[in-house]
Every structure is written in C-alpha cells, then in structure tokens.
Amino acid sequence: MKKKVLILLLVPIFVLGLSLNVGAEPLPEFEMMTTTEDYDPVRYEAAFMIQENLEELGIMVDVQPTEFSTLIETFYDEQDFEITISGWSGRIDRLDPQHFLGTLHSGQTDLSGNNPGGYENDRVDELFEAQEREFDPETRQEYVFEIQDIAVSEQPKNVLFYRDEVPAYNQETFTGFEPMAGEGIYTEWLPFDAEPLTDDLTLTIGTSQEPDNINPLDSTTVWGWKFMRMYYDKLVRLTPDVEPEPWAAESVENIDDHTIEVVLRDDMYFHDGEPVTVEDVKFSYDYYVEQDFAYFRPFYEPLDYVEIVDDNTLHFVLEEPVGNFIDVTMSQIPILPQHEWEDIEVADDLGPDEIPTVASGPMQFEEFESGEFKSLSRYDDHFAADDVDIEGIDFIIYADAEGVFTGLITEEVDMNAWRLEPGHIDLAEEEEHLQLVEVPDFGYYHMTYNLRVEPFDDVDFRRAIAHAVDKDTIIEVLLDGLGEPGNSVIAPANPAWHNPNVEDFDFDLDLAREKLEEAGYYMEDGRLHFPEE
C-alpha cells in the first residue's frame, strides 16, 4: 500500500517537472550581419548600439561585420541570416512606391528576391496588386498608406533611419551638376550634366563601393546598376522632375487600358555598330521574363507579352491595367543586344569574363577591375552624343571612405560617388576647391529579421524589440543630425506616398520588457526565454 501511495505522489511532481521545461529554453545567440567599419561606419556602429540594447533585454547578439558583396549574397541570394542591417538606396525611379512596397510582397520571398526576410501578409499582397493597377492617384495613395500601416505594425523589418546625401565635387575642374533627391550628383544624367572647366575631359569619380557584378541579369545592388545604367539604354528615362521622357523610344502611348504602343527610334546602334531593332527590344523583355530575374520581377510581372507590329513599332500587352508601367518598368529594363545574349541559356551562371558588355547607351564600357578601377568612354555614335561634353568617366575604387575623402582633398578625383561621412563634411567645407551638395534621401536603412527563424516569426516579439532601437541617438551621434529616424519603407522625402501617421515605436527598454512579458517571454539567469507551452 505504501508503494502505491508513493507512486501516486510522485506522478504530479513528474508532470509538473515536464510542464516547467517544455518550451522554456533560452533564446539562442543570434548573428547580426552589418557592413564593415571601412565600408559604412554608421551601420557598423549602429549594430553595436542595437546589440547592447538587445542584451539589456536578455537577447544575446553576435555582430558580424561583413564585406559588402558577401553580405548582399548571404542576405539576398542565400537568405542564410538571422538579422541583417542593410539599406535600400533612393534612385529616381523609386520615388514611385512600387519598388519599396515590393520588398513586402510575398512574391519576392524566393532566393534573390527583394523580400529576403520572408514576410507574407495576404492583405499586403492584395493592396500591393491593387495599387499597381490603380490609375487614380488618391485611391492609389489610400492603398499605399494602408500597406505602410500594416507593415509598420507587424515589424518584419525595423526601418532605422533615412540619411541625407552630402556629396562633393571639384568646382575648379567641372560644373553643371544637377543634384537629385536620393541620388546626389551621381545620377543617370551625369554624362549630360558634367561641363569641363579645363582641358581634361575625363571625369574622375572616387568611390569605396563597387558593383556586385556587371551582369544585367544578376546584379542586385545599386552600385551595379548605377554603373551599368551609364552604358545601357532603356525605352524611357526619368527626368529630375520624375517625368517619363521617351529615350530609346521615339514615342510611348497608352492605346487602351491593356496596351502600350512604343515607336522605336531609327537612329540607334549598339556599341559594336549593329543597329538596335524592335527584335532586340522584344527579346530583352522576353529574356528577363524567361530568366525570371527576381530583382526585376516587380517590373515585368504585369506584362503578358510583347508584340512586334512593324519595323519600328511594338505593343506591350499587360495582363491587367497598370498605372506605372511606363514610368517604372520602361525606365528600368535595359535593352540587350539579341545577338550577344540569345545563346546564353542561364544568364546568372556567367563568369566575370563571360558577361557581354555591348550596349547602346551614351557611354560605353571600357574596363572594370574589381577593387581597383572602372572606366567608360563616350559613344560618339549615340543619338545624344552631341550633348555629352566629357570624353569619358574613370572610377577609382578606394578601400574605404577615408581614401575617397583624401582623393577629393588631393584632387586625385573630381567628385565622390556617394555621400561624405559626417566627420568629413566640416573638413571639406574648408577646402576652396570643393563644393558640397546636400539633398534628402528617400531610400532607407533597415534591420531585417529572417521570419523563418524563431522567435522572429512572432509579431509580438518583433513589436517588443522595436522599442530597443535608439534611433534618435543614431541620428544625432552617428549621423551628426544629417538624417531622420525611420519608420516606413516610404520616406518623408517622398511626401506624396509617405504615410505620416504610422505607428511609433519610441525607444523604451522598460516598455520592451513589459511587451515581451505580455507575450510570454521571461528572463532567467540574464537570458530571455521562450514562452512556456
């Protein structure tokens, strides 16, 4: 009898012991990828600031400074990450909200897609597809604002800050630059803007950033495209006022809700002397669809097919009416020479020496030595060559921002490709030969979580740790006030589409602890633990 009683007494204790241990393990240590200090000291320092605050909450983080191209490959192409601090640059085409909203669409979650964190929300998908089909600006704005409300509330990424662009140029060697928001002076129009003031007709640009590659079917960084857009032409270019200007196209016209008619210029040639034809244009769009280049998928996804009407005319037939196809897609898809690409079955498998560089733009490719040098020359047979006063553009690739700044001071370069670091700005203002330019950015820097990894799949956890990021200190200390705290993927510098009323997540570690406790997480031995089951 005593044995039976003993067993009965032990059973509840054993069951209680199980209940205490189920789901009660501590959160593992997470890796946070960021750039190296040389590449971007602001992102580097911000990572350690965030690490310190997360560890106050019992969340252990190992900051991993990573060479930029490796970071991009790991983040986008492999999606092998837990937390990544990265950024989206503001290019003129991105003033339309399509691109940045696409980083929240479930159709971009596959490898190399623009939504590497794996965020999926049916309502966001529905609104995204509705806004791209909407022609009425006010109705489209309602959709765009609602997407921002949902995304900020669910925090699949924490938008950290928007950073002002402050480039400089040597005003004794060149003039004529027209700054653009989000781009500074290194814009698509640079070959047409730059006016030499001396007999040296080659513009030299200093940069610590270089292309991930120069394959138009594989490059996923702004630095790849900022270089390639100098020598590739598109059907349309966007003016500094964000108006679509027919470029390779003589005219572009909506002939009904589903059909856009393009008349191609008849005075265009590739850099090898071959004429640019409607067959090349059709091939280019078909090839992007066939290769399924995820980075450009939001651009070509609305397209049903391209039809050649005659020797100079094509019809772009859309599956659904899309209000921004001309502005966004036709200003981004480069025209490829069919005779160079048609026998390449898998474009993203090309090695560096196998990538065709023949294009039809106002500049032509000369050289790219990774880590050292890039070079372009004027293409004299381009239809707009008479408007280009420079003979070439040389890029010197430095190891870090300090090297670029030294190049500006010593007049080794005429301008920098990106912004000056905050510590360099006051020094540059003391140099008589340098002219500084300041423009707001509509790109953004973000901390993105891999939502396939626990507990980042928990929206309550993400909302709680949003209070652990001290954005004001990042702006005031790391950026010297040259920026704004972030919230939405659409920046305040884009007022037509930025939702000013999204939810705020003020820096408050006590509130973060409270929210974590409400979600079932608890602290033990200095480590945050998963909720008990």
Instruction: Write a three-state SS string for 320-364.
Output: CCCCCHHHHHCCCCCCCCHHHHCCCCCHHHCCHHHCCCCCCCCEE
Confidence of residue 14 (pLDDT cuts 50, 70, 90): very low
Please compute the mean of the pLDDT values over residues 392-396 and round it to a whole number.
98
Location of each CATH 3.10.105 domain in the chain: 30-163+441-529
Instruction: Give per-residue pLDDT as tens, 175-223.
Output: 999 998 888 999 999 999 999 999 999 999 999 999 999 999 999 888 9
Please compute the mean of the pLDDT values over residues 58-87 and round it to a whole number.
96
Q: How far apart are CA 281 and CA 193, in angstroms?
A: 27
Q: Counting beta carbons within 10 angstroms of the beta carbon of residue 38, is it exposed (0 to 12), middle (13 to 18) or buried (19 or more)?
A: middle
Q: What are phi and psi for residue 171, nearest 5 degrees?
A: -75, -5
Q: What pLDDT was estimated at residue 5?
A: 37
Q: How many whole angstroms from its chain centre is CA 440?
A: 16
Please state, for a pLDDT cut of 70, what percent of the chain lies above it.
Answer: 96
Q: How far apart are CA 326 and CA 237, in angstroms?
A: 10
Q: How far apart are CA 164 and CA 184, in angstroms?
A: 9
CB < 8 Å & 24+ apart, contacts of 407-413: 407/206, 408/168, 408/170, 408/206, 408/434, 409/434, 411/170, 411/173, 412/204, 412/206, 413/170, 413/204, 413/205, 413/206
Location of each CATH 3.40.190.10 domain in the chain: 168-231+361-436
Is pLDDT of 12 > 90?
no
Q: What pLDDT was estimated at residue 241?
A: 80
Please compute the mean of the pLDDT values over residues 397-403 and round it to a whole number.
94
Q: How far apart are CA 34 and CA 44, in angstroms?
A: 6
Q: How far apart are CA 360 and CA 340, in angstroms?
A: 12
Instruction: Give per-residue pLDDT as tens, 494-532.
Output: 999 999 999 999 999 999 999 999 999 999 999 999 998
Query: Which residues is 307 bridged to in the sheet?
Result: 315
Q: What kind of fold does domain 168-231+361-436 have according to CATH?
A: D-Maltodextrin-Binding Protein; domain 2 (3.40.190)
Instruction: Give per-residue pLDDT as tens, 330-376.
Output: 999 999 999 999 999 999 999 999 999 999 999 999 999 999 999 99
Instruction: Give per-residue pLDDT as tens, 83-92.
Output: 999 999 888 8
Q: How far apart are CA 189 and CA 34, in angstroms?
A: 31
Is pLDDT of 251 > 90?
yes
3-class state of residue 3 by DSSP: helix
Instruction: Give per-residue pLDDT as tens, 261-284.
Output: 999 999 999 999 999 999 999 999
Decide: 246 and 240 in contact? Cβ < 8 Å. no
CATH of domain 236-341: 3.90.76.10
Q: What pLDDT was estimated at residue 6?
A: 35
Q: What pLDDT was estimated at residue 133?
A: 87
Which residues are within 8 A (CB) of 161 and not within 5 positions of it... i.e. 6 or more apart? 444, 445, 471, 474, 475, 479, 483, 484, 485, 486
Q: What are phi and psi for residue 304, nearest 5 degrees?
A: -90, -55
Q: How far apart are CA 131 and CA 473, in angstroms?
A: 35
Instruction: Give per-residue pLDDT as tens, 279-316.
Output: 999 999 999 999 999 888 888 989 999 999 999 999 99
Q: What kind of fold does domain 30-163+441-529 have according to CATH?
A: Dipeptide-binding Protein; domain 3 (3.10.105)
Q: What are phi and psi for residue 72, nearest 5 degrees?
A: -65, -45
Q: How far apart are CA 179 and CA 207, in angstroms?
A: 17
Q: Tell me the average pLDDT of the chain.
A: 93
Confidence of residue 2 (pLDDT cuts 50, 70, 90): very low
Distance of CA 447 to CAs 47, 157, 419, 455, Å?
A: 9, 6, 21, 15
Q: Which of 21-25, 63-67, 241-245 has the lowest mean pLDDT?
A: 21-25
Decide: 317 and 307 in contact? Cβ < 8 Å. yes
Query: Which residues is 378 bridged to in the sheet?
Result: 363
Location of each CATH 3.90.76.10 domain in the chain: 236-341
The residue among 207 and 24 whose pLDDT is bigger is 207
The residue among 8 and 294 whose pLDDT is bigger is 294
Is pLDDT of 16 > 60?
no
Query: Residue 412 has which token pair?
Result: 């080794």
Q: What pLDDT was estimated at residue 26?
A: 97
Strands 30-35 and 61-66, by their bridges, are parallel
